[in-house]
Amino acid sequence: MKVQEQQLSAPTLAEIQDAVTALSGIVTYTPLMENAEVNAHLGGRLLIKAENAQRTGAFKIRGAYNRIRQLDTGAKKRGVIAYSSGNHGQAVALAAKLVGTSATIVMPDDASALKMERIRQFGGDVVTYDRAAELGDNAARRVRDATNRIMVPPSEDRRVMAGAGTVPLELYHQAAASDATLDAVLVPCGGGGLTAVSAIVMAALSPTTQVYAVEPELFNDTCRSLLAGKRLSNPAGRKTICDAIMTPTPGKTTFSINRALLAGGLSVCDDAVCMAMKCAFDDYKSVVEPGGAVGLAAVLSGKIDIRGKTIAVILTGGNVDTIKYCSALHRAENRIQKQE
């Protein structure tokens, strides 16, 4: 990858604040939700940042647009390329359309058919690869080398992360307006970009707030890497319902930030994720995809103690097909019945 196409360094708070202006009129200012009955049951205050209500159904449009808007005329003629299981791909396809360029999205062949179709609806071309035989970034580089497009990575770029940083910045201001002092923020973690910028924002504006990465227990590469002090990969062949955050290894740039600033990492099982999806539906009237629900799952399953505290979780996306969504809710219902 050409050096000028990717900026491998942490964004500043000023760059994140600049992205707020750039994204005005492009993204949705998503709500911060709270339920008094849930709070009473938990014994603490739970705040939920609903990025599942964002344009394209996930927070990814913030980073994708902030990167693509900065392309020069020559780069726009070349077009962009990204690898994604779906959410980043939808964001890149829409951002490219809004900016006036074209997009190719490289996706695993077992990705959601719904996400593939939405990418096409936004004007993007889809190229698939075998997840079991090739890493997504390698597949994207192969296609990029053949097409001369500009790579827009899901997290490993300063401008992408600056755009994503508008999520925790909004969260901070919304919490302050609700007279809430945040003890912790829990962030679903795939490549680690949103986690990293959440840590940057809180370190600058609310340094007593602890930020945690949350992952599926079979894809907890960031959790294990934080404990080891170096990047570790997930074993091949594992599966989880959290398809949006099935990343093999933490990003180099994002991990360097997370290692320095995070309070730690948490991991949750798929059953806990299903319970969180049901809670979001029942108590917050909100549809959330499995990968976007892991932070909520960590609170509900007791992976972090909320009693007497104020904890915010980010629901990062809501792009889940009907069959998978109903299956998750049924799985949660069955678990509840067995516990009764």
Task: Identify the pLDDT of residue 113.
Answer: 84
As for how many domains the chain has, the answer is 2
Task: Identify the pLDDT of residue 333.
Answer: 95
- pTM, two decimals, is 0.94
Task: Identify the pLDDT of residue 338.
Answer: 86
Task: Classify residue 2: in a domain, yes or no.
Answer: no
> Are the C-beta atoms of 257 and 10 separated by less than 8 Å?
yes
Full pLDDT tens readout for the chain, 340 residues:
343 577 888 999 999 999 999 999 999 999 999 999 999 999 999 999 999 999 999 999 999 999 999 999 999 999 999 998 789 999 999 999 999 999 999 998 888 888 899 999 999 999 999 887 888 888 988 999 999 999 999 999 999 999 999 999 999 999 999 999 999 999 999 999 999 999 999 999 999 999 999 999 999 999 999 999 999 999 988 999 999 899 889 999 999 999 999 999 999 999 999 999 999 999 999 999 999 999 999 999 999 999 999 999 999 999 999 999 999 999 999 999 988 7
Q: Are 186 and 37 found together in one domain?
A: yes
**Distant-in-sequence, close-in-space partners of 231: CB < 8 Å, separation ≥ 6:** 221, 225, 249, 250, 252, 255
CATH of the domain at 144: 3.40.50.1100
Domain end point (choices 132, 156, 180)? 156
Task: Classify residue 3: in a domain, yes or no.
Answer: no
Residue 71 lies in domain: 61-156
Q: How far is CA 158 from the centre of its chain?
A: 16
How long is the chain? 340
Q: Per DSSP, what are the bridge partners of residue 48?
A: 33, 313
Please list the alpha-helical segments (H only) found in 43-178.
60-68, 73-78, 87-99, 113-121, 136-147, 158-164, 166-177
160: left (phi over 0), alpha (psi -120 to 50) or beta: alpha
- Helices 322-339 and 270-284, packing angle to 10 deg: 100
Q: Are 309 and 188 found together in one domain?
A: yes
Q: Rounded to whole angstroms, how far apart are CA atoms 338 and 290?
A: 22
Q: Are 13 and 150 found together in one domain?
A: no
Q: Are 17 and 81 found together in one domain?
A: no
Tokens at 218, concatenated: 């079979």
Domain end point (choices 104, 131, 156)? 156
Task: Classify residue 29: in a domain, yes or no.
Answer: yes
Q: Are 196 and 148 found together in one domain?
A: no
Task: Identify the pLDDT of residue 101.
Answer: 98
Task: Identify the pLDDT of residue 86.
Answer: 85
